Structure 1
Amino acid sequence: MVNDLPSVPGSEDLPDGPAAQDRPRAGVQPAGTCALDGCKLPVPSGRRGRPAKYCSKAHADQASRERRAADVAAVEEPLRQAEALAQTVPAAIAGLQEYLERLQVLLAQAQDGALNRVNRAEAEARTARQAAADADARAEAAERARTEAEQATADARRARTEAERAATAARAATEQARADATTAIEAHRQAREAARQAQTTAESARDATTAELRQTRQAHENELGRLHDAARAQTDQVERLRADLTRAQDALTTAREALAAAGGETRAQQMRAEAAERAAATAQRAQSAAADRVQELGGQAAALQAGLDRAGRDLAEARATLASTQALRSHLEADLNAARADAAAQRERAARAEQDLAAASTPAGTSVASASGDPGGDGQVGPPPS
Structure 2
Amino acid sequence: MSSDDTAAEAAATAVPQADREGECALAGCAQPLPPPGRGRPAKYCSKAHADQASRDRRAADAAALDEPLRRAESLAGRLPEAIGGLQEQLTVLTDALAQAQAGALARVQRAEAEAVAARQAEADADARAAEADRVRARAEAAAADAVQARRAAEQEAERDRAALAQVRADTAETIAAHTQLRDAAREAQAAAEAARDAKTAELREARQAHEQDLARRDAAIRAQTDQLDAARTDLARTIEALTAAREALATASGEARTQRTRAEAAEHARDAALRELQTTEARAAALDRRVHELQTAADQAAGEAADTRAALRACEAVSDRLETALEAARAEAAEQRERAARAEAAAAAAEAAEAAAAAQGPGDDRHDQDDGQTPRPETRPDNPRSPQQPT
TM over 0.5: no
TM-score (ref. length: structure 2): 0.40
Task: Please tell me whether Structure 1 or Structure 2 has the larger radius of gyration of its CA atoms.
Answer: 1
